[in-house]
């Protein structure tokens, strides 16, 4: 998967979406590579047509959006196990089959040099230093501390 780097902060989903913003946050994360179980994806996809149903799992959707935000904010630090994806300190590594030098790439960060990585997930987009995904006055986006979260 290609590494996406975001350079601009600000609102990505405005608060005019109302309660639909929760499903939109999940869709945004999936669009950036968050791996979502197919059953959960189906539940999110059903939100437009079934959000008024008494038995629709609203609280579960909010928890899923929180997981999406956690993923979006993960992987922004340097891997604590290697030097930029190479020469892992724990000795657990992989080498690319076409690499004549058989370079030892860190398994913990899959050779990207980023961490912490959520188990079983891709890395989210890189964001500017000091920026975090979150809500700000009902909007959702990528904000720095000056812009408040």
Within this chain, do residues 65 and 27 fall inside the same structural domain, yes or no?
yes
**C-alpha to C-alpha distance for 81 and 116, rounded to whole angstroms:** 10
Range of the domain at 149: 1-74+129-149
Within this chain, do residues 4 and 64 fall inside the same structural domain, yes or no?
yes
**Beta bridge pairs of residue 142:** 10, 133
Residue 119 predicted with pLDDT over 90: no
Within this chain, do residues 58 and 97 fall inside the same structural domain, yes or no?
no
Q: How confident is the model at residue 149 (pLDDT cuts 50, 70, 90)?
A: low
- How many domains, the chain? 2
Give pLDDT, residue 110. 87
How many angstroms from the chain centroid is the CA of residue 125?
Answer: 7
Residue 82 predicted with pLDDT over 90: yes
DSSP 106-128: ETTTTTS-EE---TT-----B--
**C-alpha to C-alpha distance for 55 and 7, rounded to whole angstroms:** 40
The share of the chain scoring above pLDDT 70, in percent, equals 96
Within this chain, do residues 68 and 90 fall inside the same structural domain, yes or no?
no
**C-alpha to C-alpha distance for 92 and 96, rounded to whole angstroms:** 14
Within this chain, do residues 42 and 62 fall inside the same structural domain, yes or no?
yes
Within this chain, do residues 133 and 98 fall inside the same structural domain, yes or no?
no
Give pLDDT, residue 101. 85
Instruction: Using DSSP, state whether 1 is helix, strand or coil.
Output: coil
Within this chain, do residues 90 and 134 fall inside the same structural domain, yes or no?
no
Mean pLDDT across 122-134 = 94
Q: With respect to residue 9, please indicate whether it lies within any of the assigned structural domains.
A: yes
Within this chain, do residues 59 and 94 fall inside the same structural domain, yes or no?
no
Q: How confident is the model at residue 123 (pLDDT cuts 50, 70, 90)?
A: very high
Mean pLDDT across 123-128 = 94
Within this chain, do residues 69 and 104 fall inside the same structural domain, yes or no?
no
Q: With respect to residue 93, please indicate whether it lies within any of the assigned structural domains.
A: yes
């Amino acid at each position: 998967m290609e590494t996406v780097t975001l350079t601009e902060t600000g609102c990505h989903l405005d608060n005019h979406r109302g309660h639909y913003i929760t499903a939109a946050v999940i869709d945004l994360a999936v669009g950036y590579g968050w791996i979502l179980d197919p059953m959960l994806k189906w539940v999110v996809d059903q939100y437009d047509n079934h959000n008024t149903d008494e038995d629709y799992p609203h609280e579960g959707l909010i928890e899923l959006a929180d997981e999406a935000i956690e993923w979006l904010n993960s992987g922004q630090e340097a891997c604590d196990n290697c030097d930029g994806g190479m020469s892992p300190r724990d000795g657990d590594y992989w080498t690319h089959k076409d690499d004549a030098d058989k370079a030892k790439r860190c398994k913990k960060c899959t050779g990207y040099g980023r961490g912490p990585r959520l188990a079983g997930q891709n890395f989210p987009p890189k964001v500017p230093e000091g920026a975090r995904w979150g809500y700000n006055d009902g909007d959702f986006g990528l904000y720095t501390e000056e812009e408040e979260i």
